[in-house]
Structure 1
Amino acid sequence: MPSPDPTSMVSVVSPRMVSPVVGPQGQELYSCVTAANSGATGISAGMVVMPPGGISRPHLHAHSEIIVCCVAGAAVTLVGPELRPVPHAAGEFIHIPAGVVHVAVNLSSAATLVAIEMRTDPMFNEDVVVLPDLAEAAAAAANLARRDFAPSSGSAFWRVPTPRGGAPVAEAVAR
């Protein structure tokens, strides 16, 4: 019996091939790789587009880890019930464990933020839990983050990531 052609199990999905939806967290989402459109069983991926000044609703993913990579723009993710700011920009990845409260904030008042998001939820949005009780605090924290980290604020910060077991790699991220 011949083995199956591996190309029959591979999917290529572009954001242009799917219709955007506004997810429960209030973000424009393009669910590209999901169980529904690619047969994924343990992972999903999509694109997030956030308008200038945008902010997601406070939420968590009950059972899924997520990784977000900014493709264009600069963001702050407000993390935990204290909504602590974690800045990240184009070319940087942020990992958020399952069950961790977070809020995405586009730092720019003029530019659209584009990010690629990967989740261990093959349905992409199956386990999103919106936390409306944190909305007011999130809006206030987003305003502070924009003041402190926005490209127009003239601030800059340095990243010096240290890979596990490796030497530091310096990268300046100007804001």
Structure 2
Amino acid sequence: MTSCQKISPSGSYDGKQGFTYLEGISRERMGAQAICMHLLTIPPGGRAKAHLHAGHETAIFAVSGATVMYWGPRLEHRMEIAAGELLYIPAGMPHLPMNPGPDPAVAVIARTDPHEQESVVLLPELEALVP
């Protein structure tokens, strides 16, 4: 049994998706077994690479700003996410988030992959489908 631990987000890492994340809870940092949680700031004009998380669900809380996410097998769906809203992404769902606005967008991201990047699968064949 491990103990309860309190941390402040520190350090950052570059994700395969094309964003830089502020490191939080993960197996590597805290010994988490089934979850990770990190902070993400998407700069104005920032855009991720099309990707999915194989076998892992994602939950996101939008802290500030607004983003757009394209999702679906061919990224055919479009969803706007504003500060104060929650977003659920099922395991294996292709998606591509971006920040078209003039202000940074900040989000708390939790995923059932304790390694965070282990389940990321890039989908370059879908990139051109999003304007």
TM over 0.5: yes
Q: Which amino acid aligns with 1:69?
A: F
| Alignment correspondent of 1:92 | 85
Unaligned runs of 5+ residues in structure 2 are none
| Alignment correspondent of 1:13 | 7
Q: Which amino acid aligns with 1:63?
A: G
Aligned pair partner of 1:60 in 52, 61, 66: 52
Unaligned runs of 5+ residues in structure 1 are 141-175
The secondary structure found in structure 2 opposite 1:9 is coil
| Alignment correspondent of 1:128 | 120
**Percent identity between the aligned chains?**
35
| Partners of 1:116 and 1:106 in 2: CA distance | 15
| Alignment correspondent of 2:66 | 74
Aligned pair partner of 1:32 in 11, 21, 24: 24
| Partners of 1:13 and 1:59 in 2: CA distance | 29
Whether the aligned pair in 1 keeps the contact of 2:74 and 2:126 (CA below 8 Å) is no
Q: Which amino acid aligns with 1:35?
A: R
The structure with more helix, counted as a fraction of residues: 1
| Partners of 2:74 and 2:128 in 1: CA distance | 12
The structure with more strand, counted as a fraction of residues: 2
Q: Deviations over 1:51-107 (max 9, x none)?
A: 101110000000110001111100111111232111111111100010000011113
Quick check: which has more Rg, 1 or 2?
Answer: 1
RMSD value, Cα? 1.4
Larger RCO, structures 1/2 (Cα 8 Å, 6+ apart)? 2
Aligned residues: 130
4+ aligned runs moved over 2 Å, structure 1: none
